[in-house]
């Protein structure tokens, strides 16, 4: 209907009923560019995150979109434009065919073919080179954020969802989050190595592994099926429980599987030399007044506000082996992406971030110092079972944009039928999830709905019901999610509030 059509900017239109997905900070719609008559995807960010109080979050989104649009990095979905209103920010991107999560939901037993998983791995590693070059971590790599087009896979963003949620004080855990991050411990870029490894494991096994007694438990079925394949050892090394045993990104790109099977042959030595330079920079600053030392070589009388060029010339004196590119990266790491000058406060704040490794910091590509690694390993000991705890909160219900009248009718029909026949949630899961694989799959959920509500034979409606109930976004409906969505929530009240 015409009332569902929205417009932003001069040419961008979208239909509020054509929801492609929903994340913690945005809803993605299918849209239309009237200028060239092309189809697009529109990511609308939550208005409550972008009020005047949180103006810096708006700037983060704008800077990230600009970086992606200007650089157009390999294996990142193409950004077309950014539109902005008083209440929200909109990313306009090319339209993908599907997401990796949707592929896993529709795949038999949630598993993909080995050759397809190799393509996924190659595309993720090709794309991650851009993040290494920019010296940032993603921290939010998951199937929902990996898009597919023309049999190639793309990152949907640079991880802004995780970063913004940390600013808001939220700790939204996922199965793709490393043990170190889950436990609020210090961590490095190996957190993203973990995420990639878990995704590859799930694509082949159909479920994510669990952690018991400080070890990632590898399913016998997975070992029996893939132990002879080169990808097996690569995945195992990516999902090691301790960061000290897990592959670094430098080791990832040097791994025989990556070089011989994926055909990726790149040199990421800059990570190590950059690390050495920063370690030397940090050590020097702890012994002398770093700002005074840099200011002494400034050509200006104003030593409280150094230009980028003055900083580069001064920092170059610390080591003859560091390149201007590395020093320039350090300048922006300390002062900010758009900075032209650096202050004493900038340097002091950076020193504290490096020394403390604060949880929620954007993170950088360098290893832990020895004392930090020892501390991290000690913090992770003596944990019998590590669980990713994700709370269901009535005030933070996900995917409400999918609650169309047809979806609401199906959800209410399931509730009414179970009450009428006194069906318990446990009995239902004993029937549809007898092997306790972690929940009900999309195919099983479709069978359940059609048995209770035969009129619901509509693929779009079935898909939206599953996506709404999948609050944890792990590809299966758990008992907790089923109980929450069918019995604990007042669906009709939510729909009224949303409208």
- Given this structure, which CATH class describes domain 98-261? mainly alpha
* pLDDT at position 170: 53
* pLDDT at position 343: 80
* pLDDT at position 15: 87
* pLDDT at position 89: 87
* pLDDT at position 338: 62
Task: Please give the Cα distance from 72 to 42 (Å, whole number).
Answer: 17
Task: Please give the Cα distance from 480 to 61 (Å, whole number).
Answer: 33
C-alpha closest to that of 21 among 457, 466, 484: 466
Q: Is the C-alpha dihedral spanning 119, 122, 126, 131 positive or negative?
A: positive
pLDDT averages per 10-residue partition of the chain, 499 residues: 78 88 83 92 82 68 82 90 86 93 87 96 94 80 93 89 54 76 79 95 90 84 95 97 90 95 80 62 61 52 71 73 75 72 78 52 56 64 53 74 85 88 85 71 83 74 84 78 89 72
Q: Where are the domains of the chain?
A: 2-94, 98-261, 270-356, 394-498
* pLDDT at position 65: 84
* pLDDT at position 382: 54
DSSP states of 46-113 as a string? Answer: PGGGSSGGGHHHHHHHHHHHHHHHHH--TTBPPEEEEEE-SS-EEEEEEPPSEEHHHHHHHSGGG---
**Six-digit token string for 86:** 């008083």
**Considering the domain 270-356 in this protein, what is its CATH number?**
1.10.238
- The CATH superfamily holding the domain 2-94 is Phosphorylase Kinase; domain 1 (3.30.200.20)
pTM, whole model, 2 decimals? 0.71
* pLDDT at position 359: 35
* pLDDT at position 77: 93
């Amino acid at each position: 209907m015409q009332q569902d059509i929205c417009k932003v900017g001069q040419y961008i239109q979208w239909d509020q009923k054509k929801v492609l997905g929903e994340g913690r900070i945005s809803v993605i719609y299918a849209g239309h560019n009237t200028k060239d008559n092309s189809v697009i995807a529109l990511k609308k960010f939550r208005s409550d995150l972008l009020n005047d109080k949180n103006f810096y979050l708006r700037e983060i989104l704008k800077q990230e979109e600009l970086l992606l649009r200007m650089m157009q990095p390999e294996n990142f979905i193409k950004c077309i434009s950014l539109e902005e209103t008083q209440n929200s920010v909109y990313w306009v991107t090319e339209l993908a065919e599907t997401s990796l999560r949707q592929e896993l939901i529709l795949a038999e037993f949630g598993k993909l073919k080995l050759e397809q998983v190799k393509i996924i791995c190659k595309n993720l590693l090709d794309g991650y080179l851009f993040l290494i070059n920019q010296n940032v971590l993603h921290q939010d790599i998951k199937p929902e954020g990996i898009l597919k087009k023309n049999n190639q896979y793309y990152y949907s963003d640079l991880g802004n969802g995780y970063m913004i949620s940390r600013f808001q004080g939220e700790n939204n855990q996922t199965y793709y989050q490393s043990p170190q991050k889950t436990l609020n411990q210090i961590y490095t870029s190996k957190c993203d190595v973990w995420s990639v490894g878990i995704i590859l494991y799930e694509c082949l096994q159909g479920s994510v592994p669990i952690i018991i007694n400080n070890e990632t438990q590898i399913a016998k079925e997975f070992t029996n099926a893939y132990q002879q394949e080169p990808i097996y050892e690569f995945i195992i090394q990516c999902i090691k429980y301790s960061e000290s045993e897990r592959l670094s990104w430098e080791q990832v790109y040097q791994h025989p599987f990556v070089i011989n099977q994926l055909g990726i042959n790149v040199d990421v030595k800059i990570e190590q030399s950059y690390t050495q330079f920063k370690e030397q920079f940090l050590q020097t600053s702890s012994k002398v007044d770093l700002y005074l030392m840099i200011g002494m070589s400034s050509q200006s009388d104003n030593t409280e506000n150094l230009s980028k060029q003055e900083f580069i010339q001064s920092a170059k004196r610390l080591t003859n082996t560091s390149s201007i590119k590395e020093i320039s990266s350090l300048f922006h790491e300390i002062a900010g992406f758009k900075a032209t000058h650096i202050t004493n406060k900038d340097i002091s704040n950076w020193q504290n971030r490096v020394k403390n490794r604060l949880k929620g910091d954007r993170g950088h590509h360098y290893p832990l110092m020895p004392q930090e690694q020892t501390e991290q390993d000690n913090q992770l000991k003596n944990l019998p079972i590590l669980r990713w705890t994700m709370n269901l909160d009535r005030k933070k219900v996900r995917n409400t944009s999918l609650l169309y009248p047809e979806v609401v009718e199906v959800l209410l029909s399931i509730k009414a039928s179970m009450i009428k026949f006194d069906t318990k949630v446990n009995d239902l899961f004993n029937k549809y999830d007898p092997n306790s694989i972690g929940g009900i799959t999309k195919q099983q959920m479709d069978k359940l709905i059609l048995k209770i509500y035969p009129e619901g034979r509509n693929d779009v409606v079935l898909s939206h019901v599953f996506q709404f109930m999948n609050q944890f976004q792990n590809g299966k409906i758990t008992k907790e999610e089923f109980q929450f969505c069918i019995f604990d929530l007042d669906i009709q009240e939510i729909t009224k509030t949303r409208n």
